[in-house]
């Protein structure tokens, strides 16, 4: 997928002005946010379960090479071919080679964010392999001109039923339908022929299990079963960080993934796939491959952003993020949107190419509060901002202002009178209404809303006064 992260500001303005999008994005709070809250409330000992899952993920990541080698050995023992790719392009090339080796011309595919990193559909198409997305949301995006997903678990959350009804009528050449069961049946009828004709099935991999050499898949539509059973070749593509040592570790993490993602206690379909069809099996592929992508992941190990590798791609951080809730996923310009994407994308694509993403957050901490893996996303975003400052990747005026503030904050004799003067100037600008309509240097705020000025004194003055009141109260 071609990164377009430098367009964040321009796209954000467009999305904020899109009334229809703003209405569609309300589904995040009415469905995912409330659903997660209910599912977590119904789970006894949630914090203890979360601590245990974090511990298990850390164990896997601290010896990532060991568990990956164990996975490879066990997978190969069960007949799976394991291939390694340093870059997304190399991973896509490997899948193309697999298709050529087995003479595959028709591929069916489940939702996979790693395949988006790889640009897999375009690579296979260029090699003469027709790819059909079978996740309903991804299928809608594919027939809408190969539109990229805007969410990692709900790729079409930015569209409403009316838009999809128009698209189905145009693409399928059928009478327009707005009844959701009828629309899903129409898609099912179209996709059924694709399932039956395919000779290659492509999936992601939510987790890898080292002790058994298995690939774990989590879906709600059942299409992964069709993609892994019917075609004679199954290829799973996933990142190297997804490995877990044991099935017990998988069970621990699975108590959190569906609850955090969709508010379900368990997903509709949960498959653990180990090798191709064996003698006596009634179904399954003749050949199974797992393509493991690094794509910058190993560079995070042992560094300041290593905790991002715990991410299980649940989407909770973006569902709760006040920025994502307003601008949607396409604004971020690459595969991973929201707070997790604002850390991952600079890590994978380079900080110089993704300058706006670390700034695309309020640092309110909601993302960290809901993350099942306790990833300190606000802290990681601050670290990226610090790196931007040190590398002079932010505007000169911004760097000058931060240096001035830093100097003042380290010298109380300057900070205190400066704060008093600033407070007086703000009150003067606010006037009797106590609201500032325009403030030089803060146009990003005052261009869209007034800046309230309620306090009549500085924070230190208020703190000292209240402390004295408590002492004598």
Tell me the CA distances in angstroms from 371 to 288, 315, 319, one per residue in order.
33, 9, 11
**Residue 452: predicted pLDDT:** 83
User: Do 81 and 163 fall within a single domain?
Assistant: yes
E-state strands within 54-186: 80-85, 106-109, 130-133
Closest CA to 351 of 381, 309, 323, 318: 381
- Confirm if 361 and 339 have CB atoms less than 8 A apart: yes
SS3 412: helix
Report DSSP letters for 122-136, one per residue: HHHHHTT-EEEE-SH
Per-residue confidence of the chain (473 residues) as pLDDT tens digits?
Answer: 778 888 999 999 999 999 999 999 999 988 999 999 999 999 999 999 999 999 999 999 999 999 999 999 999 999 999 999 999 999 999 999 999 999 999 999 999 999 999 999 999 999 999 999 999 999 999 999 999 999 999 999 999 999 999 999 999 999 999 999 999 999 999 999 999 999 999 999 999 999 999 999 999 999 999 999 999 999 999 999 999 999 999 999 999 999 999 999 999 999 999 999 999 898 999 999 999 999 999 999 999 999 999 999 999 999 999 999 999 999 999 999 999 999 999 999 999 989 999 999 999 999 999 999 999 999 999 999 999 999 998 888 888 888 888 898 899 899 888 888 888 888 888 888 888 888 877 777 777 778 888 766 777 778 888 888 877 65
In a domain, 244, yes or no: yes
Tell me the CA distances in angstroms from 370 to 45, 87, 253, 367, one per residue in order.
15, 31, 15, 6
Number of H helices, E strands in the chain: 24, 12
**Residue 422: predicted pLDDT:** 83
User: Cα(337)–Cα(265) distance, rounded to whole angstroms?
Assistant: 25
* Residue 460 domain boundaries: 396-472
In total, how many domains does the chain have?
Answer: 3
In a domain, 468, yes or no: yes
User: Do 274 and 207 fall within a single domain?
Assistant: yes
User: Do 172 and 55 fall within a single domain?
Assistant: yes
Which of 370, 390, 410 is the last residue before a domain boundary? 390
Neighbours of 278 (CB within 10 A): 10
Would you state the structure tokens that stand for residue 108, as one six-digit string?
């069916």
User: Do 284 and 327 fall within a single domain?
Assistant: no
In a domain, 21, yes or no: no
DSSP label of 246 = S
In a domain, 8, yes or no: no
DSSP run (H or E) holding 322: none
Measured CA angle at 408 (ends 404, 414), to 5 deg: 130
In a domain, 4, yes or no: no
Q: pTM for the complete prediction?
A: 0.90
In a domain, 9, yes or no: no
**Residue 440: predicted pLDDT:** 78
User: Cα(357)–Cα(285) distance, rounded to whole angstroms?
Assistant: 41
**Residue 217: predicted pLDDT:** 97
Would you state the structure tokens that stand for residue 312, as one six-digit string?
């299980």
User: Do 319 and 283 fall within a single domain?
Assistant: no
- Sheet (strand 200-203) strand order: 80-85, 287-293, 233-239, 200-203, 106-109, 130-133
Tell me the CA distances in angstroms from 262 to 105, 122, 270, one per residue in order.
34, 29, 14
Q: For the stretch 140-152, what's the b/e string if a residue is b when 16 or more beta carbons lie within 10 angstroms of its beta carbon?
A: bbbbeeebbbbbb
Cα-Cα-Cα-Cα dihedral sign, residues 160, 336, 312, 120: positive
**Residue 473: predicted pLDDT:** 56
């Amino acid at each position: 997928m071609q990164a377009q992260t430098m367009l964040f500001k321009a796209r954000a303005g467009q999305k904020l002005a899109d009334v229809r999008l703003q209405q569609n994005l309300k589904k995040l709070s009415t469905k995912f946010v409330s659903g997660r809250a209910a599912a977590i409330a119904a789970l006894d000992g949630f914090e203890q379960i979360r601590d245990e899952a974090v511990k298990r993920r850390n164990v896997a990541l601290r010896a990532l090479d060991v568990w990956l080698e164990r996975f490879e050995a066990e997978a190969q023992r069960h007949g799976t071919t394991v291939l390694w790719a340093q870059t997304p392009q190399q991973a896509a090339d490997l899948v193309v080679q697999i298709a050529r080796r087995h003479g595959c011309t028709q591929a069916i595919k489940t939702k996979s964010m790693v395949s988006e990193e790889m640009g897999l559909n375009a690579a296979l198409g260029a090699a003469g392999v027709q790819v059909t997305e079978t996740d309903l949301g991804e299928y809608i995006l594919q027939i809408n001109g190969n539109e990229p997903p805007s969410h990692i678990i709900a790729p079409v959350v930015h569209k409403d039923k009316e838009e999809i009804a128009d698209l189905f009528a145009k693409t399928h050449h059928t009478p327009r339908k707005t009844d959701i069961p009828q629309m899903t049946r129409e898609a099912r009828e179209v996709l059924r022929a694709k399932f039956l004709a395919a000779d290659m099935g492509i999936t992601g991999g939510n987790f890898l299990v080292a002790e058994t050499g298995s690939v774990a898949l989590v879906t709600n539509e059942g299409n992964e079963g069709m993609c892994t059973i019917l075609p004679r070749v199954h290829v799973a593509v996933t990142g190297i960080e997804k490995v877990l040592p044991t099935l017990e570790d998988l069970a621990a993490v699975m108590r959190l993934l569906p609850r955090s993602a969709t508010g379900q206690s368990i997903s509709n379909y949960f498959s653990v796939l180990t090798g191709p069809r064996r003698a006596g099996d009634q179904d399954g592929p003749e050949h199974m491959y797992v393509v493991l992508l690094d794509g910058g992941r190993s560079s995070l190990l042992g560094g300041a952003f290593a905790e991002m590798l715990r991410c299980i791609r649940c989407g909770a951080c973006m569902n709760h993020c006040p920025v994502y809730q307003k601008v949607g996923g396409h604004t971020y310009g690459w595969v991973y949107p929201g707070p997790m994407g604002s850390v991952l994308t600079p890590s994978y694509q380079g900080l110089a190419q993704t300058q706006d993403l670390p700034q695309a957050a309020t640092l309110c901490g909601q993302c960290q509060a809901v993350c099942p893996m306790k990833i300190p996303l606000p802290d990681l975003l601050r670290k990226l901002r610090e790196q931007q400052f040190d590398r002079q990747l932010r505007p000169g005026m911004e760097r000058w202002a931060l240096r001035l503030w830093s100097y003042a904050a380290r010298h109380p004799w300057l900070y205190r009178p400066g704060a008093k003067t600033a407070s007086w100037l703000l009150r003067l600008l606010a006037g009797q209404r106590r609201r500032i309509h325009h403030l030089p240097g803060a146009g990003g705020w005052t261009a869209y809303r007034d800046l309230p000025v309620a306090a009549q004194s500085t924070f230190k003055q208020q703190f000292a006064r209240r402390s004295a009141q408590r002492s004598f109260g």
